[in-house]
C-alpha cells in the first residue's frame, strides 16, 4: 500500500523532506523575536541559535557572554538565541540599575538554578538560587562584608600572606632561567586564604599541596565535557 505516490522510496523521501522542513520552521519560529521589537540581535544559526561554540566546548559560558558584550559595543541592548530561546544582554548601566535596584521586585527570582539533590554546591550558590532560598540565604551572608568584619578579616589574612612569602623564599628563585608552575602555587595560597578567613582553619596547602581541603577544592573545579554541559544548562536554562 502506498501513501502518496506509486513508490515507497519516493513516499519516504517526501515524508522525510516534509519533516525536515517542519523541524526547520519550528526551531526558527522565534529567530526574529528581537528584531520585531526594535532590538539589535546577533544573527542566529538554525537549530543552535548563537550557541554553537558553547556546545562544542570552544567557549565557557562567561567567555560567551563576554564576547557578546564586546560585540554589542555602543548598544544598550543585544538580543541573542540559545537554540530557539531568545535572550537579552543588557549593556546600558542605567538599564542595569533598573533591573538590579529600582525594579528589582520584578527581577528578583533567578531564571535558572542547579538541581538541589544532584548538585548541592551549585544549588547553594547565591548567584543562582531562587526565592525563597535566596531571600533567606542573603541576610546570612551580608554580615560577612560589613566594614568592621572586613577590617578584622585583614588581620586573619596577614599570617597566610607571611606563609606565602616564606614558601616563595624556600623555592630559591634567585638567578635566571628557573621556571615554576605558579598557577598551582597561587591556587594553594588562595585555598589557605579561604580556609583561614571563611572557615577558621589552617589548611597548609602551601606546605602540603595534597592537603584534604585542597583536594576537595580541586574536585569542585574539575571540568570535563559533562560538567561543562551541566554549567551551561544552569546558565541558560531551557525550561
In a domain, 94, yes or no: yes
Across 210-237, average pLDDT: 77
Residue 215: other Cβ atoms inside 10 A: 12
In a domain, 173, yes or no: yes
In a domain, 202, yes or no: yes
Residues 163 and 102 in one domain: no
pLDDT of residue 239: 52
Cis peptide upstream of residue 132 (ω within 30 degrees of 0): yes
Residues 97 and 151 in one domain: no
Nearest partner of 51 among 65, 40, 37, judged by Cα: 65
The pLDDT tens digits of the residues spanning 23-32 come to 888 888 899 9
Residues 170 and 96 in one domain: no
Looking at the 3D structure of the chain, how many domains does it have? 2
Across 39-58, average pLDDT: 89
3-state secondary structure 144-181: HHCHHHHHHHHHHHHHHHHHHHHHHHHCCCCCCCCCCC
Residues 92 and 169 in one domain: no
Question: Sign of the CA dihedral 169, 174, 178, 183?
Answer: positive
Domain that holds residue 156: 146-223
In a domain, 186, yes or no: yes
pLDDT of residue 159: 93
Which grid cell is 66? 563576554
Amino acid at each position: 500500500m502506498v501513501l502518496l505516490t506509486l513508490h515507497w522510496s519516493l513516499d519516504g523521501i517526501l515524508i522525510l523532506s516534509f519533516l525536515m522542513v517542519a523541524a526547520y520552521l519550528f526551531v526558527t519560529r522565534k529567530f526574529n523575536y528581537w528584531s520585531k521589537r526594535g532590538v539589535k540581535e546577533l544573527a542566529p544559526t538554525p537549530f543552535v541559535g548563537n550557541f554553537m561554540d558553547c556546545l562544542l566546548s570552544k567557549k565557557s559560558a562567561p567567555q560567551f557572554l563576554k564576547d557578546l558584550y564586546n560585540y554589542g559595543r555602543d548598544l544598550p541592548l543585544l538580543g541573542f538565541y540559545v537554540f530557539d530561546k531568545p535572550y537579552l544582554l543588557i549593556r546600558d548601566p542605567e538599564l542595569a540599575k533598573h533591573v538590579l535596584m529600582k525594579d528589582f521586585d520584578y527581577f528578583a527570582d533567578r531564571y535558572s538554578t542547579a538541581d538541589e539533590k544532584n548538585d548541592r554546591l551549585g544549588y547553594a550558590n547565591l548567584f543562582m538560587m531562587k526565592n525563597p532560598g535566596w531571600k533567606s540565604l542573603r541576610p546570612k551572608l551580608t554580615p560577612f562584608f560589613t566594614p568592621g568584619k572586613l577590617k578584622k578579616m585583614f588581620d586573619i589574612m596577614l599570617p597566610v600572606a607571611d606563609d606565602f612569602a616564606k614558601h616563595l623564599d624556600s623555592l630559591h628563585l634567585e638567578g635566571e632561567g628557573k621556571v615554576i608552575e605558579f598557577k598551582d602555587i597561587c591556587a594553594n595560597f588562595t585555598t589557605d586564604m579561604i580556609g583561614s578567613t571563611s572557615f577558621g582553619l589552617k589548611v597548609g596547602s602551601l606546605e602540603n599541596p595534597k592537603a584534604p581541603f585542597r583536594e576537595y577544592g580541586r574536585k569542585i573545579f574539575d571540568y570535563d565535557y559533562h560538567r561543562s554541559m551541566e554549567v551551561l544548562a544552569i546558565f541558560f536554562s531551557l525550561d
